[in-house]
Amino acid sequence: MKAETILAEINRLRKEVGEDPSDLEWLALHHVFCFISYKTGELQKYLDEQAAKGAFKDYRP
């Protein structure tokens, strides 16, 4: 699993919800996306660790 794949999905969800600063769902997705974008290396390390544990064995791109 690549960090970029996860980030792209979070961004897709964020755009799907539509920008509305008064909506908690949009705020959560927006700030998670922004924060994780700055921590891509750490996210990739986490994903690699999880992949080693089989967390993504059922994922089919």
Q: What's the whole-model pTM score?
A: 0.88
Distance CA 17, CA 43 (A): 23
How far is residue 19 CA from its own chain's centroid?
17
Tens of pLDDT, residue by residue over 32-43, are 999 999 999 999
pLDDT tier, 13 (very low <50, low <70, confident <90, very high otherwise): very high
Does residue 61 have a pLDDT over 90? no
Mean pLDDT of 28-34: 97
